[in-house]
Amino acid sequence: MRAELSAKRDAFLHQIGTRPLVMGILNVTPDSFYDGGQHVGIDGAVARAKQMVADGCDIVDVGGESTRPGATPVSAADEMTRVEPVLAGLAAIVEAPVSIDTYKSDVAARAIDLGAVLINDVWGLQRDPAMADVVAESEAAVVIMHNRAEKDAEIDILADIHRYFERSLTLAAKAGIRKERIILDPGIGFAKTSHQNRDVVARLAELKRHGLPIMIGASRKAFLGRLSDGTEGSLIGSIAVNLAAASNGASLFRVHDVAEQVAALKIFHTVCSGMGQTP
């Protein structure tokens, strides 16, 4: 990794834990569940990234394949066709660090070449056998997310997440990925029932036993409506769940609505930081 990118990576990682950090979602896909097709053109995608940075996001997460339930998989070549021009455009314009949302090692490697400093892998190094080596060799940071092939309402979802993370962290250690560059994501909305999604947020502190930062990606997801008998994927629900996750130990929040989430998390952090202080 080039020296200027290493500096961006380290500056981002060193902020984790000092305050809630926000990852802005930039989907350059036609079929993502919330914003599919909105930012497919290069100019539109770069403009959206610039706006998110202006709104306060700490890192821009570029994705070229929808991972929503039922989405059609795309080849690595098609995914790279979508993300390459956007990553190239962001490198010249956006000062904030950039991450790549992919589980394919070829896409991840190319994204690092184009300026990404973090790989956000929704299969936690377990889908593509070459991914752990790409992360290690590139010296990128990585988000290891929990995932499953299908839902199972009968399992203890936190126990399943712990087992999954242990496998992923073993792969990371064997490849030589430095622990200080790893972030964990319990995978809200991925092969989990609404009840299990709620349990993950409520029991999030249990994941602290791994000794790594925790990211939450609950933004605009359908289970939020089921919790409140309201509109699925609402902004209010997204903010509420992120504040609950923050209170239970989450450090990083992957969101669509950057300005609103930044404001809510800033207030939360300011209030919590002031608790117990002598007036």
Residue 167 has pLDDT above 90, yes or no: yes
The tally of domains found in the chain comes to 1
Q: Which position among 50, 209, 221, 226 bears the catalytic label?
A: 221
Task: Write down the mean pLDDT value for the chain.
Answer: 91
Structural contact between residues 3 and 234, judged by C-beta atoms closer than 8 angstroms: no
Percent of the chain with pLDDT over 90: 78
Q: Which residues contact 62 (CB under 8 A, 6 or more apart)?
A: 26, 28, 45, 83, 86, 87, 90, 98, 99, 100, 101, 111, 116
Which CATH number is 24's domain given? 3.20.20.20
pLDDT tens per residue across span 100-115: 999 999 999 999 999 9
- Domain residues for the domain of 29 are 3-271
Residues in the chain: 279
Residue 73 has pLDDT above 60, yes or no: yes
State how far the alpha carbon of 73 is from the alpha carbons of 84, 109, 260, in Å: 18, 19, 31
Q: Is 278 helix (H, G, I), strand (E, B) or coil?
A: coil
Is 156 buried (19+), middle (13-18) or exposed (0-12) by CB count in 10 A? exposed
Assess if residue 276 is contained within a domain.
Answer: no
pLDDT tens per residue across span 175-195: 999 999 999 999 999 999 999
Phi and psi, residue 21, nearest 5°: -105, 150
Most confident of the ranges 33-47, 64-78, 186-200: 186-200
198 catalytic, yes or no?
A: no
Assess if residue 278 is contained within a domain.
Answer: no
Q: Which position among 48, 110, 220, 254 bears the catalytic label?
A: 254
Question: Is-above-0.85 flag for pTM?
Answer: yes
Assess if residue 120 is contained within a domain.
Answer: yes
Q: How far apart are CA 93 and CA 51, in angstroms?
A: 12
pLDDT tens per residue across span 40-63: 578 888 999 999 999 999 999 999
* Dihedral sign for Cα atoms in the order 196, 201, 206, 212: positive
What average pLDDT does the segment 254-267 reach?
97
179 catalytic, yes or no?
A: no
Assess if residue 16 is contained within a domain.
Answer: yes
Check residue 69 and give its pLDDT.
67
| pLDDT-derived band at 91, boundaries 50, 70, 90 | confident
| pLDDT-derived band at 33, boundaries 50, 70, 90 | very low
Assess if residue 277 is contained within a domain.
Answer: no
Residue 232 has pLDDT above 60, yes or no: no
Assess if residue 279 is contained within a domain.
Answer: no
Q: Which residues pair with 19 in a beta bridge?
A: 16
Assess if residue 157 is contained within a domain.
Answer: yes
Q: How far apart are CA 75 and CA 81, in angstroms?
A: 10
